[in-house]
Amino acid sequence: MSQNPTLSGVTPEGTAVKERFDRCVIPVYGRFDMVLTRSEGSYVLDDRNRRYLDVGAGVAVCALGHCHPAIAEAISRQVRQLIHVSNLYYHDLQGRFAEELVDLIGPGKCFFCSSGVEANEALFKLARKVGSESGRFEVITCQNSFHGRTLAGISATGQQKVKTGFEPLVPGFRHVPFDSLKAAEEAISPATIAVMIEGIQGEGGINVASPEFLLGLRSLCDERGLLLLFDGVQCGHFRTGRFQSYQRILEGYAAGEGFLPDAISMAKSLGGGFPLGAIWVNERYADVLGPGTHGATFGGTPLASAVGLAVLAEIEASSLEQNARDVGDCLRVSLMRLQEQYPAVIKEVRGLGLMLGVEFAESFSKLLTKERPISLQVVEAVQREGMLTIPAGQRVIRFLPPLNLKREEAEEAIVILQRTIEKLIAWNIS
Ligand SMILES: Cc1ncc(COP(=O)(O)O)c(C=O)c1O
Q: How far is the CA of 391 from the centre of ligand 1 (A)?
A: 15
Evaluate: CB of 203 within 6 angstroms of ligand 1: yes
Beta pairing partners, 356: 351, 399
Ligand 1 geometric centre to CA of 149 (Å): 8
The domain covering 12-65+320-429 belongs, at the CATH homologous superfamily level, to Aspartate Aminotransferase, domain 1 (3.90.1150.10)
393 lines ligand 1 (CB under 6 A): no
Class of domain 69-317: alpha beta
CA of 16 relative to ligand 1 center, distance in Å? 30
Ligand 1 and 111: CB distance under 6 A: no
Q: Which atom of ligand 1 is nearest to the CA of 232?
A: 1
Task: Show pLDDT as tens, one digit a residue, over the chain (430 residues).
Answer: 333 333 456 799 999 999 999 999 999 999 999 999 999 999 999 999 999 999 999 999 999 999 999 999 999 999 999 999 999 999 999 999 999 999 999 999 999 999 999 999 999 999 999 999 999 999 999 999 999 999 999 999 999 999 999 999 999 999 999 999 999 999 999 999 999 999 999 999 999 999 999 999 999 999 999 999 999 999 999 999 999 999 999 999 999 999 999 999 999 999 999 999 999 999 999 999 999 999 999 999 999 999 999 999 999 999 999 999 999 999 999 999 999 999 999 999 999 999 999 999 988 776 677 788 999 999 999 999 999 999 999 999 999 999 999 999 999 999 999 999 999 988 765 5
Instruction: Answer whether 417's CB lies under 8 Å from 401's CB.
Output: no
59 CA: nearest ligand 1 atom: 14
- Smallest CA separation from ligand 1 atom 8, residue: 116
What pLDDT sits at residue 304?
Answer: 98
Domain ranges of the chain: 12-65+320-429, 69-317
Nearest alpha carbon, ligand 1 atom 7: 116
Q: What number of other Cβ atoms are within 10 A of residue 387's Cβ?
A: 25
Ligand 1 atom closest to 235 (CA): 1
231 Cβ inside 6 Å of ligand 1: yes
How far, in Å, from the CA of 422 to the mean position of ligand 1?
A: 33
Quick check: CB of 236 below 6 Å from ligand 1? no
* pLDDT at res. 368: 75
In this chain, the answer to whether the domains covering 12-65+320-429 and 69-317 adopt an identical fold is: no
Q: What is the pTM of this model?
A: 0.96
Residue of 115, 268, 269 to test ligand 1 pocket, by largest number of atoms within 8 Å of CB: 268
Q: What is the pLDDT of residue 428?
A: 67
pLDDT at 364: 78
